[in-house]
Amino acid sequence: MTNVAAPYWVSELHDLVGELRRGKWAIARWEDLGPDEDLAHWQAVVSDACADDVDPLFIDIRRRSLTVVLNGALPAPDADQIHASIAAIEDSRFTGRPIL
C-alpha cells in the first residue's frame, strides 16, 4: 500500500488525535502510559478525545508491550510498516536513542 502515512510519534493527546485525523498512525509504548501502564484507561481517554471523523482502532501487541492506534475510517498500514515501526521502537528501547 503506497498511500498510507508513515507512523507518527506524539506525546500529547490533542496531537495524537490531530495526526489520526490526518491519516497518520501511532504506536504507544506501554511504559509511556504512566506509572500503572493502564492501557484500558489510555484507550478510553483517546477514544473520548476523538471527534466523529476519527474512529480509533487499537491493536495491542502484548509480547512487545505496544499498542498501534490508527483511524479505522482510513487506510491501515500494512504488516511491513508495522514491523518496521516495532523494530524502530525496540531499537530505541535498547539503545536509549530517540526514534527518528
pLDDT at 16 over 60: yes
Q: State the total domains in the chain.
A: 1
Whether 87 is covered by a domain: the verdict is yes
- Would you list the DSSP string of 20-64? HHTT-BEEEEGGGS-TT--HHHHHHHHHHH--TT--EEEEEEGGG
Per-residue pLDDT band for 44 (boundaries 50, 70, 90) equals very high
Q: What percent of the residues of the chain are helix, what percent strand, and what percent coil, each to the nearest 5?
A: 45, 20, 40
Asked if residue 9 lies in contact with residue 23, where contact means CB atoms within 8 angstroms, the answer is no
Q: What is the pLDDT of residues 69-88, one digit of tens each?
A: 999 999 888 888 888 888 88
Inside any domain, residue 7: no
The answer to the question of residue 3 being in a domain is: no
Percent pLDDT > 70 in the chain is 88
Count the neighbouring beta carbons within 10 Å of the beta carbon of residue 84: 14
pLDDT band for 33, please (50, 70, 90 cuts): confident
- Does residue 100 form part of some domain? no
Strands 66-71 and 26-29: antiparallel
Q: Note down the domain range covering 34.
A: 13-95
In a domain, 5, yes or no: no
What is the model's pTM?
A: 0.82
